Amino acid sequence: MSEKKPVYICRCQEITEDDIKKAIEDGARTVKGVKNRTGATMGLCQGRTCRKLIERMLARYVDMNEIKPGTRPPVRTVKIDDMVKGEEVENE
């Protein structure tokens, strides 16, 4: 009788690899998403030990094509008036 031993990813919070996989299956796509679902990275070391492991699991199990880009700030300053007009502004 060999019972499968849990693999702890976040030792501080006792979050296992299976817990992280379940969080990813439930829709977590970032470390913050995993944190919100499991409490990982919220222990004494504040994720110093487990963050990299969670990032690796996300890279392994998440299809990057399903992640939609988020809202980003403009790469250069744009006047609100120009944004309202919707006109292209050449670099000055």
Q: Which residues here bind ligand FES, judged by CB under 6 A?
A: 10-13, 40-41, 43-47, 49-50
Closest separation in Å from C-beta 61 to ligand FES: 18
Q: What's the closest the beta carbon of residue 4 comes to ligand FES, in angstroms?
A: 21
- Please give the DSSP secondary-structure letter assigned to residue 50: T
Minimum distance, C-beta of residue 28 to ligand FES, in the bound complex (Å) = 15
Give the residue with the Cβ less far from ligand FES, 52 or 85. Answer: 52
H/E stretch holding 60: helix 51-61
CA dist 90 → 58, 63, 68, 75, 86 (Å): 40, 37, 28, 13, 13
